[in-house]
Amino acid sequence: YIWHLLGCRSCQKDVFNDPIHGHIEMHPLLVRIIDTPQFQRLRYIKQLGGTYYVFPGASHNRFEHSLGVGYLAGRLIRALQKRQPELDINQRDILCVQIAGLCHDLGHGPFSHMYDGRFIPRVCPGTAWKHEDASVKMFEHLIDSNDLRPVLKYYGLKPDEDIDFIKEQIAGPIKTEKNSSSWPYRGRPEEKGFLYEIVANKTSGIDVDKWDYFARDCHHLGIQNNFDYVRFIKFARVCEFEGKKHICTRDKEVGNLYDMFHTRNCLHRRAYQHKISNIIETMITDALLKANPHIIIKGSGGEEYNIATAREDMEAYTKLTDEIFLRILHSDEPNLEEAREILCKIERRDLYKYLGQTQPQEGTGNYKGGTLSHKPGLKPEDFIVDVINMDYGMKKKNPVNNVRFYCKSDLNKAFRISKEQVSKLLPEKFEEQQIRVYCKTADEETICDARKYFVQWCIDNNFTKPQVRKV
């Protein structure tokens, strides 16, 4: 039975030729997970969503990014195992960390962050749903629907304990009423807490997920990547700080970490939050909202779902990818006509018009969002207010304050390094908000009136003097 599940490749490592990391080997258990419909679905979800419509090279998908994260997770944990045998890192730990790296993005919807960042908040206002929640559910579905528990056992894993560990690495501690312990995790004890800092580091934000998307996105966007993850791995070391074990790096690397977070900020400014990319994602979102009541996706037991509710059933969600764009675009159904017309406008490059950009004044706090009020000749629904929060990954906080360092003379003593100890040229603030306003109408006279109205709206709301220019 087990040989039937494993096929003929139980001991064979597959080699993937990756444009970023070169020829990478994958353990047969990882290959078994990759060769499932739930993982293969990631081939059909663009890594950067609507950014592809501005940067023609950004055609890469969540599939190859996930392979890269699984590979880098293995590189980092093996480096720690070799450097510090006393950490007692075993093959189970290595496989679980790699599986978490592979599966961390299983829950992304169509056009990646557009689905959970734009579409879901508009179709279900107030919902706290995140794609990490769906990644955990999709991982459970992947294991169960492909009968992989015996395969996990065959390769030395303890399914009940290790599946929890994998899920916790993806989405954080599993909430239970029984958990009253100060250590919130169930998959691994506190002495192995550093393992939770590899795939999705909730402490400092320095993790293999970022390393791969920095390298991969920069490669496809044609933007220089200034962060060298190989150097970080060379200096990575587990040290104890205030009674807890953390992955630390050499004190001399602190400047490189600021460069890493600066790279992240540059990617957001130049690509992820490019104004045309955001306009196109807004238009795709509008099309999906129009189409949502009329799209049927069948899930488990023949139950019917739409674009928004498919995330509640993993069988239905497996069928929901970027393909939904073409399904609407090529449909001749009358009830999809409005959605289809929006997508046709994207193809004709007949986009919503960019009116301008502004920011809240210093010390006034962030804008909570809303719409432009009514003015004769201009309808509120013709305007879109796009609020963009950009930071170093931890909102107002400096993420490097949460990094622990060690020095050459004492490899086991960890300490913090303040910003003032590094340079006076580093950022004073680590978060800012941009407010962009778009107009749906294409009439030049209306656009001209709308731009004037936008300037007055900025003055009325005590925003900075807006950048107003034609797209």
pLDDT digits (tens, 9 = 90+) for 365-411: 788 777 776 566 778 888 899 999 999 999 999 999 999 999 999 99
Whether residues 325 and 427 share a domain: the answer is: no
CB within 8 Å of 411: residues ≥ 6 apart? 237, 239
Whether residues 342 and 387 share a domain: the answer is: no
Q: What is the DSSP letter of 378?
A: B
Domain finish residue from 351, 374, 405: 351
Please report which confidence band the pLDDT of residue 355 belongs to, taking 50, 70 and 90 as the band edges: very high
Strand order in the sheet with 353-358: 353-358, 431-439, 383-391
The model carries a pTM of: 0.95
DSSP reduced 3-state for 204: coil
pLDDT at 373: 61
pLDDT at 251: 97
Residue 39 Rama label (left phi>0; alpha psi -120 to 50; beta): alpha
CATH number of 429's domain: 3.30.70.2760
Whether residues 220 and 345 share a domain: the answer is: yes
Q: Give alpha helix (H) positions in 269-336.
A: 275-291, 314-317, 323-329
| Domain with 364 in it | 352-470
What kind and span of H or E run contains 344? helix 337-348
Other CB atoms closer than 10 Å to residue 229's CB: what's the count?
A: 21
pLDDT tens, residue by residue, 443-467: 888 888 888 888 988 998 899 999 7
Whether residues 395 and 320 share a domain: the answer is: no
CB within 8 Å of 430: residues ≥ 6 apart? 391, 392, 394, 395, 396, 397, 398, 399
Residue tagged 């979800």 (tokens): 45
**Span 66-88, mean pLDDT?**
98
Q: How far is CA 190 from CA 68, 105, 186, 194, 246, in A?
A: 27, 26, 9, 8, 11
CATH number of 294's domain: 1.10.3210.10
Whether residues 297 and 398 share a domain: the answer is: no
Q: How far is CA 320 from CA 108, 124, 189, 202, 343, in A?
A: 10, 18, 37, 29, 18
The pair of structure tokens assigned to 42 is 């990631």
The yes-or-no verdict on residue 277 having pLDDT over 90 is yes
pLDDT at 471: 47
Whether residues 82 and 214 share a domain: the answer is: yes
pLDDT at 445: 85
- For residue 389, which amino acid is it? N
Determine, yes or no, domain membership for 455: yes
Catalytic site includes residue 4: no
Determine, yes or no, domain membership for 310: yes
Nearest to 227 by CA among 264, 197, 201, 200: 264
Nearest to 358 by CA among 265, 285, 451, 264: 451
Determine, yes or no, domain membership for 232: no
The yes-or-no verdict on residue 300 having pLDDT over 90 is yes
Residue tagged 């706090």 (tokens): 365
The pair of structure tokens assigned to 373 is 């009020």
Whether residues 313 and 345 share a domain: the answer is: yes
Determine, yes or no, domain membership for 459: yes
pLDDT tens, residue by residue, 206-236: 999 999 999 999 999 999 998 999 999 999 9
Q: How far apart are CA 46 and CA 284, in angstroms?
A: 14
Q: How far apart are CA 125 and CA 178, in angstroms?
A: 31
Torsion angle of the four alpha carbons 41, 230, 190, 30, in this order, in degrees rounded to the nearest 10: 30
**Span 14-35, mean pLDDT?**
97
Q: How far apart are CA 230 and CA 389, in angstroms?
A: 30
Decide: 65 and 105 in contact? Cβ < 8 Å: yes
Nearest to 456 by CA among 351, 330, 355: 355
Determine, yes or no, domain membership for 369: yes
Of 27, 65, 108, 131, the catalytic one is: 131
Please report which confidence band the pLDDT of residue 6 belongs to, taking 50, 70 and 90 as the band edges: low
Domain finish residue from 323, 351, 379: 351
Nearest to 256 by CA among 232, 239, 235: 232
Whether residues 357 and 319 share a domain: the answer is: no
DSSP reduced 3-state for 104: coil
Number of H helices, E strands in the chain: 18, 11
Determine, yes or no, domain membership for 263: no
How deeply is 285 buried, as exposed, middle or buried, from its count of CB atoms within 10 A (0-12, 13-18, 19+)? buried
Whether residues 294 and 421 share a domain: the answer is: no
Whether residues 281 and 159 share a domain: the answer is: yes
pLDDT at 365: 78
Please report which confidence band the pLDDT of residue 189 belongs to, taking 50, 70 and 90 as the band edges: very high
Determine, yes or no, domain membership for 211: yes
CB within 8 Å of 145: residues ≥ 6 apart? 36, 38, 315
**Span 317-335, mean pLDDT?**
98
Whether residues 81 and 205 share a domain: the answer is: yes
Nearest to 139 by CA among 164, 114, 161: 164
Determine, yes or no, domain membership for 299: yes
Q: What percent of the chain has pLDDT over 90?
A: 83
Domain finish residue from 282, 316, 351: 351
What SS3 string covers 219-284?
Answer: HHHCCCCCCCHHHHHHHCEEEEECCEEEEEEEHHHHHHHHHHHHHHHHHHHHHHCCHHHHHHHHHH
Decide: 134 and 107 in contact? Cβ < 8 Å: yes
Number of domains present in the structure of the chain: 2
- For residue 338, which amino acid is it? E
Whether residues 308 and 361 share a domain: the answer is: no
Q: How far apart are CA 33 and CA 103, in angstroms?
A: 9
